[in-house]
Each structure stands twice: as C-alpha cells, then as structure tokens.
Amino acid sequence: MSFSEDYFHELTSLIRQIDAQEIERLVQILRDARLRGGRLFVLGVGGSAANASHAVGDFRKIAGMEAYAPTDNVSELTARTNDEGWPSVFESWLRVSRLRREDLVLVFSVGGGNEEVSPNLVRALEFTKSTGAGIAGVVGRDGGYVAKVADACVIVPTVNPAHITPHAEVLQAVVWHLLVFHPDMKAPAAGGGGSAE
C-alpha cells in the first residue's frame, strides 16, 4: 500500500473504533448546557487551538450556542502568558469570564494534559471543577487529565503511534462537526448550510 492508502486505512479504522455512545452522552451534556443558558468554552493548544477556534464558530452559527475560545484573543493570551505564566493562562481567562455552574468547558487535546505537558489544561480543569461547571473532551492516547475528570470524553484510539497527533486532531474535527449537525444540537434557524468558515 502507498502511504496515502495506509493513512486513510488508519483513519477508517479509527472511525470504526470511536465510542458512539460517548459522543451521544456529549451531545446531551451540550444540549443541557445550552437549554439552561450555559456558555461553551473550548480549550486547545497548538493544532487543537485552531480546532477550538473553528469549533466555536460552528457551535455559535450552526448550534446556536454561545461559545468562546481563549486562544482567539492573541493579545490577552500572550499578555497573560508573559505576566502570569503559561500554566495559569486558561484558568485566569476562565476566572475573568466568570465561569459558572451552567457553563461547559470542552477540551481538544492530543494527550489530555498533565503537569509536564499542557499544565494549563490541568489548572483550567481544576478551576472548572471548583465552579461546578461541566467538563468534556475529545482527546488522543489515554486521554490524560481530561479523561480522568470529564463528564464525557471521546478518546481517539491509537492505531499507529507515529500518527497520534494528526489522527487526534483530525478526529476532533470529525466529532465537533457531528456534534453541531446532530439533530439534538442543530439550531432550527441554522438551515442546512456548511461550516461557519
């Protein structure tokens, strides 16, 4: 097989292994948050930050849900990183956003965060837990800290250790598009259009 054929074979295998029931649980958590007037905060680093930005647009436009990503404001993000340090950057942003019990934090991450890699996700979720807000994730590998504390967490299985990052990030996009077009999430006024790009 060529590299391209092999890569697509891996993706096909991943999609077959995704836990559809966990996605359905995530849909209900999102729907419940929207019904109670909660906001959605999407966190990600690197490629997952780019996915967070795109997902926020889709949740707002297609699902009719108030949504934000801290990485969309590079001035605030870099000021907080410079003045307060990287580990606390998302936590402090959520504090200023007045995160409350009705809200939901959705994390896109390859590793799911730990104290050495993506400690900013760990600190943000510790704070989120203290407020009573919901936690969800779409993550790779074993899910790291996100999988340990989330109310719903879709874990992208590893089929090729050399492709963990691209597989996790592409499946984040597959899952969030499924979420916003799910019949229980799609806003009636959204029509049948495409993404919010």
Longest pairwise C-alpha distance within the chain: 52
Q: For the whole model, what pTM was predicted?
A: 0.93
**Nearest Cα residue to 40 out of 5, 31, 190:** 31
Collect all residues with Cβ–Cβ distance below 8 Å to 132 and sequence separation of at least 6: 100, 101
What per-residue confidence (pLDDT) applies to 36? 95
- Three-class DSSP category at 20: helix
What are the backbone angles phi and psi of residue 45, rounded to the nearest 5°? Answer: -125, 140
Domain ranges of the chain: 3-186
What per-residue confidence (pLDDT) applies to 141? 86
Query: 3.40.47.10, 3.30.200.20, 3.40.50.10490, 3.40.190.10: which CATH number matches 3-186?
Result: 3.40.50.10490
What per-residue confidence (pLDDT) applies to 189? 59
Please tell me the number of Cα atoms within 13 Å of 164 on its side-chain side.
Answer: 13
Q: For 116, which DSSP code?
A: S
**Nearest Cα residue to 104 out of 172, 25, 30:** 30
What per-residue confidence (pLDDT) applies to 116? 84
With contact defined as beta carbons under 8 Å apart, do 180 and 63 qualify? yes
Divide the 197 residues of the chain into consecutive groups of 10 and give the mean pLDDT of each group: 95 95 98 97 97 98 97 95 95 97 98 90 98 98 93 96 96 97 81 50
| CA 145 from centroid of its chain's CA atoms | 13
What per-residue confidence (pLDDT) applies to 194? 52
**Strand segments (E) across the chain:** 40-43, 67-68, 104-109, 134-140, 152-156
What per-residue confidence (pLDDT) applies to 142? 86
What per-residue confidence (pLDDT) applies to 122? 96
Query: Sign (positive/negative) of CA torsion 186, 189, 192, 193?
Result: negative
What are the backbone angles phi and psi of residue 26, rounded to the nearest 5°? Answer: -65, -40
